[in-house]
């Protein structure tokens, strides 16, 4: 595997590893996943409607929040918490934090499964290849600046690896039947 392939894989890992969460609550249940999927269009519409207010309160240094608290903070700061709470309660969630925790848990499991699908290998095999690429980097003809940038990417990828590895197997199995629906929900969210 070349450094270019490793870099592409690292970028996918970082993109998919939405969170370093996985101090997750109980294992995901089918009903919880279905509620989350059904809530996503309403949450996305609400987010789009309130985008300007939310962006004013978003932590620019934390563009990929990794905790329910970090996800809910801009909602609270924008004065939209009660509105968000009403919306998520319509879909069976106790609070915006409950919805956010479920989102992180589902998206972590999704990232783990997607990684295996996209890369055609398990995360451990990719980690071993990354370690080999790190060794190759030392003898690479790249500039010191390029090497430093790659080293930083490797460090971030190792954090992503740790996050993905900590996803319980039960959560991975629970989301398998819903991958297409989660794909659709995450693609709609990125538009």
Tell me the per-residue pLDDT of 162-174, one tens digit each, with 9 for 90 and over. 777 778 889 999 9
The arithmetic mean of pLDDT across residues 24-36, rounded, is 86
The per-residue pLDDT for 85 is 94
| Residue matched to tokens 């894989």 | 9
pLDDT attached to residue 188: 67
Here the tokens at position 165 are 């590895």
Pick the more confident residue, 42 or 19. Answer: 42
Average pLDDT over residues 102-129: 79
7 Cβ neighbours under 8 A, 6+ residues apart? 150, 153
Name, of 69-78, 79-88, 163-172, the range with top average pLDDT. 79-88
- At 13, the pLDDT band (50, 70, 90 cuts) reads very low
More confident residue, 49 or 15: 49
Average pLDDT value over all residues in the chain: 79
Backbone angles phi, psi at 80, to 5 degrees: -110, 10
pLDDT over 50 at 1, yes or no: no
Question: What is the residue range of 65's domain?
Answer: 3-189
pLDDT at residue 70 greater than cutoff 70? yes
Arithmetic mean of pLDDT, 34-56:
90
Q: What is the DSSP letter of 67?
A: S
Write the burial class of residue 121 (CB in 10 Å: 0-12 exposed, 13-18 middle, 19+ buried): middle
Asked if 137 and 151 touch (Cβ cutoff 8 Å), the reply is yes
- 147-171: buried (b, 16+ CB within 10 Å) or exposed (e) per residue? eeebeebbeebbebbebbeebbeeb
Can you read off the two tokens belonging to residue 41? 């269009």
Residue 127 CA: distances (Å) to CA of 26, 49, 81, 97, 121 = 27, 40, 40, 32, 10
| pLDDT, position 147 | 81
Pick the range with the lowest mean pLDDT from 42-46, 99-103, 112-116, 179-183: 112-116
- What is the dihedral sign for C-alpha 77, 60, 112, 180? positive
The number of domains in the chain is 1
pLDDT given for residue 166 in this prediction:
79
The answer to whether 92 and 35 have CB atoms below 8 angstroms apart is yes
């Amino acid at each position: 595997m070349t450094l270019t392939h490793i870099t592409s894989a690292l970028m996918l890992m970082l993109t998919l590893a939405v969170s370093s969460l996985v101090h997750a609550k109980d294992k995901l249940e089918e009903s919880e996943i279905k509620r989350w999927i059904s809530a996503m269009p309403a949450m996305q519409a609400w987010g789009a409607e309130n985008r300007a207010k939310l962006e004013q309160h978003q932590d620019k240094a934390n563009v990929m929040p990794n905790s329910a608290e970090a996800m809910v903070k801009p909602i609270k700061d924008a004065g939209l918490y009660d509105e968000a709470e009403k919306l998520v309660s319509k879909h069976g969630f106790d609070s915006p934090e409950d919805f956010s925790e479920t989102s992180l848990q589902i998206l972590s499991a999704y990232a783990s499964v997607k990684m295996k699908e996209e890369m055609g290998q398990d995360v451990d095999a990719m980690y071993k290849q990354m370690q080999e690429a790190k060794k190759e980097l030392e003898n690479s003809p790249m500039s010191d600046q390029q090497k430093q940038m790659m080293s930083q990417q490797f460090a971030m990828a190792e954090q992503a690896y740790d996050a993905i590895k900590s996803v319980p197997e039960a959560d991975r199995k629970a989301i398998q039947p819903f991958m297409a629906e989660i794909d659709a929900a995450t693609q709609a969210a990125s538009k």
